[in-house]
Amino acid sequence: MTLFDGLNATVKTDEPMAKHTWFRLGGPAEYFVIPETRTDLVEVVKRCNENDMPMYVLGSGANLLVADSGVKGVVIHLGGKEFKEMTFQDDTLTAGAGVDMGKLVLQCVRQGYSGLQGLTGIPGTVGGCVRMNAGGAFGDIGSVIESVTVMNRNGEIFERLREDLAFAYRSSNISSKFIIGASFLLIEDDPHRILKEVKQIWIYKKNSQPLSHRNAGCVFRNPRGMSAGALIDKAGMKGKRVGGAHVSDKHANFILADKGATGFDVLKLIDMIRDAVAKEFGVNLEKEIEVW
């Protein structure tokens, strides 16, 4: 008899988290659970609460660094069928938390709806992107959100409407443990025009960011009115290496993981970058990536 017997969910023990993060780093999760539906998720949370098990919510692992020692507790991955559904109804798009952001942008192009193309090239799933108000120079996701469906630690599900939501730079006022899905208000547009814009954004990002190398996106938030990448570069950290991890030569706010890299290498490099920028400019950089 195990903690999650009888559930309509995929359950693994000692699952290597390196398989589930873009860094391809991280030790094992004590439990790794993929519920198929909201009902299954409620039951997973109930059992975690009954057994005092810490819960971690995983999307695509795009903005995450997991320690080499792994995760003590339950990693809940919203990768089940219900969490990957998306539907268009007139100008409203509803998508589950597990929907891949890149696929969602392309589906909007095919359907002829504008509003999310600014998220082109931004990794992650709907849930993670909504929570951190993902975006960049071409716009952020919060600007088109109509509502967000969330669930708290007690398994209670409710909807938060636009007027109750607040989005700022890489943040939102959503504190619930789980984001289950979201709806977006889009604008009907010419698919060819949207596709052209998507291609232009993708080319820009491909030329300015190391998209083909193992990384977790921007490591640090931009301080108000400043560029974290520029500060790191001017502090002399571009190309700096610790073990198998190094600062990208293309964009200094990216840390790249080579073969043989460890989570410790990345964490050490993060500390070195923060110390260098603080010493040179008196600026304390805040991490944008999540560390477990």
Q: Per residue of the chain (292 residues), give pLDDT as tens.
A: 478 888 888 999 999 999 999 999 999 999 999 999 999 999 999 999 999 999 999 999 989 999 999 999 999 999 999 999 999 999 999 999 999 999 999 999 999 999 999 999 888 899 999 998 988 888 899 999 999 999 999 999 999 999 999 999 888 999 999 999 999 999 999 999 999 999 999 998 888 778 767 888 899 999 999 999 999 999 999 999 999 999 999 999 999 999 999 999 999 999 999 999 999 999 999 999 999 9
What's the rounded Cα separation, in Å, for the pair 64 and 19? 12
Which pair of structure tokens corresponds to residue 142? 């919060």
With left for phi above 0 and alpha for psi between -120 and 50, is residue 124 left, alpha or beta? Answer: left
Catalogue all structural domains in the chain, each as residue range(s) with its CATH number. 9-81 (3.30.43.10), 85-208 (3.30.465.10), 228-291 (3.90.78.10)
Give the Cβ contact number of residue 284 at 10 Å: 10
**Would you give the distance in Å from CA 252 to the centre of its chain?**
20
Angle at CA of residue 141, ends 64 and 165, nearest 5°: 100
Considering Cα of 266, then 271, then 276, then 281, what sign does the dihedral take?
Answer: positive
Spatial neighbors of 271 by CB under 8 A, at least 6 apart, are none
With H, G, I as helix, E, B as strand and everything else as coil, classify residue 135.
Answer: strand
> Is the Cβ–Cβ distance between 31 and 4 less than 8 Å?
yes
Residue whose tokens read 């030569």: 249
What's the rounded Cα separation, in Å, for the pair 32 and 50? 17
Give me the half-sphere count of Cα atoms (radius 13 Å) on the Cβ side of residue 205: 21
